[in-house]
């Protein structure tokens, strides 16, 4: 019992020393200050980066808006990672961990992971090239392999693509080999209009051309006045005329719908018929009577 009492008294004396609790309080205060300072540095740095991109966007040397959004998000993430890493190192130093040993050990572990996770390294390297070569950016409409949709996020390891039906596809950057970007250049809307054979083609062309000149004023997605290329096809029951219109990127579907509506209303107002399928039915009795009648007359 005396031995147990001595151990308890020894521990009590050890943990009730003023120096110990002063050191603990001082360490806790330093950790809190480091976390607060890290949060302030991150907030100030992100604000500075946003202001830099805002000023740069107003200069002739500014990036495109889609690339600015991608780089801004990437830089903000890098700032957070770096600041929190430095803060973690300082906190470990306050807790009397051997920082040099940890860094050396982390280097060895990182090297081992690099050899064992080559796909991860490939994803990161490919992510860097995608971003800095501006292959595609957040908000672009792209096709990557069998997936097609709007780019929601570009990270160093993965790219997220959202389909128009709502599915979100997450692709490792290392698997991205070929990319089709629909948002870089203007699109072209193609519309085929059918005219009845009985109608005057020259008059129909004149009416449509007059209409096409007015469309850029009504629809801002149209870059230049649409063009009527002429007769595209002579079908079984109609003459097909083709119209093309240059639009802003990925707005050709919307513009094509507007053009179809405008052309239909214009042709109806000018009395030009748009053909539709007709079905003529004959009765066998009527046909037999007609044949008999022709024989009698002959």
Supply the pTM of this predicted model. Answer: 0.54
Domain count, the chain: 3
73 and 23 assigned to the same domain: yes
175 and 259 assigned to the same domain: no
Would 298 be classed as within a structural domain? no
pLDDT per residue of the chain (298 residues) written in tens, 0 to 9: 566 666 666 655 555 666 656 666 777 888 888 889 988 988 898 888 888 877 766 655 455 666 677 677 777 777 888 888 888 888 887 777 766 666 666 665 566 555 556 777 787 778 878 877 778 888 888 999 889 898 888 877 888 899 888 889 999 888 888 888 888 888 899 999 988 888 888 999 999 999 999 898 889 889 888 999 988 888 888 889 999 999 988 888 899 999 999 999 999 888 888 887 666 665 666 656 666 666 666 5
- Quote the strand ranges of the chain, DSSP E: 141-144, 147-154, 158-162, 168-172, 179-181, 187-195, 227-234, 239-247
In this structure, what CATH number is given to the domain that contains residue 248? 3.30.70.100
162 and 177 assigned to the same domain: yes
**Which residues constitute the domain of residue 200?**
187-269
Would 131 be classed as within a structural domain? no
- Residue 146 exposed, middle or buried by CB count within 10 Å (0-12, 13-18, 19+): exposed
In this structure, what CATH number is given to the domain that contains residue 29? 1.10.287.1260
Would 261 be classed as within a structural domain? yes
């Amino acid at each position: 019992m005396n031995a147990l009492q001595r151990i308890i008294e020894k521990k009590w004396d050890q943990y009730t020393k003023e120096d110990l609790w002063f050191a603990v309080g001082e360490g806790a205060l330093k950790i809190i200050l480091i976390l607060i300072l890290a949060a302030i540095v991150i907030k100030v740095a992100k604000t500075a980066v946003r202001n830099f991109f805002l000023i740069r966007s107003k200069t002739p040397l500014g990036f495109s808006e889609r690339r600015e959004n991608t780089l801004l998000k990437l830089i903000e993430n890098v700032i957070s990672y770096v600041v929190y890493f430095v803060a973690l190192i300082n906190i470990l130093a306050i807790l009397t961990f051997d920082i040099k040993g940890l860094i050396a050990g982390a280097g060895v572990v990182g090297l081992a992971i690099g050899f064992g996770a080559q796909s991860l390294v490939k994803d990161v390297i490919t992510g860097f090239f995608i971003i800095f070569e501006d292959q595609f950016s957040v908000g672009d409409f792209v096709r990557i392999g069998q997936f097609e949709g709007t780019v929601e996020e570009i990270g160093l390891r993965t790219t997220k693509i959202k389909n128009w039906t709502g599915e979100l596809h997450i692709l490792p950057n290392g698997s991205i080999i070929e990319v089709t970007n629909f948002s870089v250049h203007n699109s072209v809307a193609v519309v085929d209009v059918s005219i009845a054979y009985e109608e005057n083609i020259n008059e129909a062309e004149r009416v449509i051309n007059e209409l096409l000149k007015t469309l850029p004023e009504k629809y801002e997605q149209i870059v230049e006045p649409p063009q009527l290329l002429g007769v595209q096809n002579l079908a079984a029951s109609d003459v097909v005329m083709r119209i093309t219109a240059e639009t802003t990127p990925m707005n050709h579907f919307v513009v094509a719908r507007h053009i179809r509506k405008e052309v239909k209303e214009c042709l109806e107002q000018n009395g030009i018929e748009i053909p539709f399928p007709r079905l003529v039915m004959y009765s066998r009795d009527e046909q037999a009577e007609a044949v008999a009648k022709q024989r009698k007359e002959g």
